């Protein structure tokens, strides 16, 4: 048997591939629907995780469940309608997709455990399902932080009046440094982990309410 930490890291591999693939595909798909040909022309309109992986962001996600993939390049000038609204929708798409994916995977996890209740595979499958749920929740919450280059900064930029553009550009120059410092001092972990666990518990309660009438 693997050491639990090693087993968890191994289970995080498919979890990470699912989380990153759906996250980046969501960005690309929304931008494409808004009229931007850039993601499609760069091959990012795909669920193939290897197209989206970033080495350092992948390592962070494997070890801490908070990471990032290669950002999908977009050109807001192509967006139909309000460009700032388009930027906000594209920025939000990845995290929303992760949160939806986490809920669907948790539902499948519960159904699978009911079906394979006493199976010798139930422990392994449960670990993979759990890792996938937590990975998607972690990616969804983490990427909503208003720190460049994360999606939350794109949302913040689209909501603030344009007169704040110089200040945002200055923050953007140091965003990656700020992010690394916060990650390695575990400030983000102390904030994000309770949020992820809180959403996890809410999802559990909702799914229990959905399934209970069918189990009585």
Q: List residues with catalytic annotation.
A: 24
**Token pair recorded at residue 170:** 């200055």
Q: Is there a contact between 94 and 27 (Cβ–Cβ < 8 Å)? A: yes
Handedness of CA 16, 22, 23, 28 (dihedral sign): positive
Q: Is there a contact between 88 and 155 (Cβ–Cβ < 8 Å)? A: yes
Q: Is there a contact between 70 and 54 (Cβ–Cβ < 8 Å)? A: yes
Query: d(Cα 153, Cα 143) in Å, to the nearest integer?
Result: 9
Residues with Cβ within 8 Å of 14's Cβ and at least 6 positions away in sequence, in order, are 128, 131, 132
């Amino acid at each position: 048997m693997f050491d639990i930490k090693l087993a968890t890291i191994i289970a995080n591999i498919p979890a990470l591939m699912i989380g990153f693939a759906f996250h980046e595909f969501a960005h690309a798909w929304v931008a494409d629907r808004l009229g931007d040909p850039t993601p499609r022309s760069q091959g990012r309109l795909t669920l193939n995780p290897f197209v989206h992986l970033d080495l350092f962001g992948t390592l962070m996600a494997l070890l801490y469940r908070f990471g990032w993939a290669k950002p999908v390049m977009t050109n807001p000038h192509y967006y139909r309608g309000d460009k700032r609204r388009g930027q906000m929708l594209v920025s939000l798409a990845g995290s929303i997709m992760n949160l939806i994916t986490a809920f669907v995977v948790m539902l499948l996890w519960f159904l699978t455990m009911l079906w394979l209740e006493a199976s010798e595979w139930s422990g392994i499958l449960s670990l993979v399902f759990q890792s996938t749920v937590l990975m998607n929740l972690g990616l969804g919450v983490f990427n909503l932080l208003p720190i460049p280059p994360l999606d939350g900064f794109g949302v913040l930029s689209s909501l603030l009046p344009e007169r704040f553009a110089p200040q945002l550009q200055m923050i953007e120059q140091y965003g990656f440094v700020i992010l690394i410092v916060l990650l390695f001092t575990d400030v983000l972990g102390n904030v994000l982990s309770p949020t992820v666990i809180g959403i996890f518990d809410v999802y559990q309660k909702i799914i229990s309410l959905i399934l209970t009438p069918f189990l009585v």
